[in-house]
Structure 1
Amino acid sequence: MRRLFQLASRCSVVLCCRNRTSDMTLAIGDGANDVPMIQMADVGVGISGQEGWQAVMASDFAMGQFRFLVPLLLIHGHWNYQQLGYMILYNFYINVVLVLILFCCFYHTTSNYATNFTFKSFSPRYNSIIYSSLPTIIVGILNKDLRKRTLLKYPQLYGAGQRHEAYNKKLFLLTMLDTLWQSMVIFWAPLFAYWSSTIDVASIGDLWTLGVVILVNLHLAMDVIRWYWVTHVVIRGSIVATFISVMIIDSIPNLPGYLAFFDAAGTGLFWLLLLGIIVTALLPYLVVKFVYQYYFPNDIQICREAEKIGYDRVVESGQVEMLPISDNPSR
């Protein structure tokens, strides 16, 4: 550092430039002279102060003092990245499960490539609008993986975003494989169980509808870290709303599948199938999640367990080893 200072002091002009153009940069300023720098950076932060609002108007984030930059990055930046990464994967998951049942080869080969719609006509349209949208929004907003105290005490946790731990190709591939398995279980289990039965095909469609909604909501509930009363309401309410919708639709005489749900639900096989589908579909996800958290935990999972078993005794004592923050965060 001393040699660098001596060299720089002998130069009449010093040009500072980026060595790696793919790196992601953040610029912070409080005056009009900082506006070009803020606009050129990937993330611009403006400080509202005595020099006016020019920097604030040109920035992505605005704050009152420079000291607020630490919680902006280490707390809110960490939370937002974790929530956004999980919600992207989860939204892919809930939509692909339904799409695979509707349009993949399982559906068309068993119906001789006909256009008959086994699902209730409202089910696919309302799946992402009513049945699963509200739990996704509430969990995405309220679910926080770590407390503020932990994130401030261990700045190394910020490196999870630089290492793309919440969303990457490996997680996406594992999610799609899990989605393929769950869709196959939901589709084939009722068909094999009712293969020689005279049950109405609309009853199997009701079983598919209920299985998908219960499955995606339980999958979401397994990943909830901090439960609130509204989280219980939206997840349980989504499942109850699906049952009510199916019963109401099947009670209308003019619609196809009249009383189909009530005919199927009167047998023990229907409820045994519904329970078996959920358990079988979620079992691989449970096993993989347990193995990764127990044998290959990352920094976030270690700190989360430390918070549970004794925050003051473990976390505040600084006994948690962290991976270093990367010095070249990429886009």
Structure 2
Amino acid sequence: MAADVAVGAFRALRTLLLVHGHWSYTRMAQLVLYNFYRNAVFVFVLFLYTPFAGYSTMSCIDQWNLVMYSLAFTSVPTVVVGFTEQDAPREALLSSPSLYAAGIQRRLYSHALFGLSIADAAWQAVAVFWVTTGALSDGGSAGMHDAPTGLSMGELGAAQLAALVIV
């Protein structure tokens, strides 16, 4: 009885391994890098705020928004890519073995790509932090460790969160 099912399953093995395996690897590589990026850029922005908070554990972003950032605000790209990403058509994957070289040669996910995405997150966090802080402050003379003048912590946090979601 089980052998009858197994024989039928072997018919789909080629498509399962070559097509769906390739799509799955491509999606996973993209999503792992994206999730590390989005969390790193978020943490870097919070880290940049610590001198303004007197090196305390105070966050400029409301606690509810801290939770909702990963849960709701930035989860849409993960879901969309997870369901729809197909970098090559089924027929091309079955007929062209050279398309599998990207995975074998680690062009989709590697330590270098991971480092590059973290460096990108750090750069974008610096840009988000200073652009929002500069745009919302009233131009007073705030030092490096002084809070920006004319700006509440909630306003700064809301602006930074909005910029993070857009970026």
| Structure with greater Cα Rg | 1
Given residue 153 of structure 2, which amino acid in structure 1 is its aligned partner? Answer: V
What is the rounded CA distance, in whole Å, between the counterparts of 1:65 and 1:200 in structure 2?
Answer: 62
Matched residue, 2:154: 202
Equivalent residues in 2 for 1:51-200, closer than 5 Å:
64-102=8-46, 104=47, 106-193=48-135, 194=137, 195-196=139-140, 197-200=149-152
Contact 1:74-1:155 within 8 A present in 2 as well: no
Equivalent residues in 2 for 1:238-317, closer than 5 Å:
none
Contact 2:50-2:56 within 8 A present in 1 as well: yes
- Residue 49 (str. 1) matches residue 19 (str. 2): no
Contact 1:98-1:124 within 8 A present in 2 as well: no
Deviation string 1:247-299 (CA, Å, 9 cap, x unpaired) is: xxxxxxxxxxxxxxxxxxxxxxxxxxxxxxxxxxxxxxxxxxxxxxxxxxxxx
Given residue 101 of structure 1, which amino acid in structure 2 is its aligned partner? Answer: V
Given residue 97 of structure 1, which amino acid in structure 2 is its aligned partner? Answer: V
State TM-score, norm by structure 2.
0.83
What is the rounded CA distance, in whole Å, between the counterparts of 1:171 and 1:115 in structure 2?
Answer: 31
Task: Detail structure 1 runs of 4+ shifted over 3 Å in the superposition.
Answer: none
Deviation at 1:96, TM superposition (A): 0.9
What is the rounded CA distance, in whole Å, between the counterparts of 2:59 and 2:35 in structure 1?
Answer: 24
- Residue 211 (str. 1) matches residue 163 (str. 2): yes
Q: Which runs of 5+ in 1 are unaligned?
A: 1-47, 57-62, 216-331
What is the rounded CA distance, in whole Å, between the counterparts of 1:136 and 1:101 in structure 2?
Answer: 21
Matched residue, 2:146: none
More RCO (CA 8 Å, sep 6+): 2
What is the rounded CA distance, in whole Å, between the counterparts of 2:131 and 2:22 in structure 1?
Answer: 41
Given residue 134 of structure 1, which amino acid in structure 2 is its aligned partner? Answer: V
Contact 2:49-2:59 within 8 A present in 1 as well: no
What is the rounded CA distance, in whole Å, between the counterparts of 1:210 and 1:108 in structure 2?
Answer: 19
Q: Match of 2:109, SS?
A: coil
- Give the length in aligned residue pairs: 157
Deviation string 1:209-231 (CA, Å, 9 cap, x unpaired) is: 1011111xxxxxxxxxxxxxxxx
Deviation at 1:170, TM superposition (A): 1.1
Backbone CA RMSD of aligned residues: 2.1
State TM-score, norm by structure 1.
0.44
Deviation string 1:45-98 (CA, Å, 9 cap, x unpaired) is: xxx634xx6xx6xxxxxx725342221222111100000111111111111111
What is the rounded CA distance, in whole Å, between the counterparts of 1:173 and 1:135 in structure 2?
Answer: 21
Distance change (3 Å), C-alpha of 1:198 and 1:146: same
Contact 1:118-1:201 within 8 A present in 2 as well: yes
Q: Match of 1:122, SS?
A: helix
What is the rounded CA distance, in whole Å, between the counterparts of 2:26 and 2:11 in structure 1?
Answer: 23
Q: Which runs of 5+ in 2 are unaligned?
A: 141-148
Distance change (3 Å), C-alpha of 1:166 and 1:96: same
Distance change (3 Å), C-alpha of 1:68 and 1:107: same
What is the rounded CA distance, in whole Å, between the counterparts of 2:161 and 2:25 in structure 1?
Answer: 32
Q: Match of 1:96, SS?
A: helix
Identity over the aligned pairs, expressed in percent? 33
Deviation at 1:153, TM superposition (A): 2.0
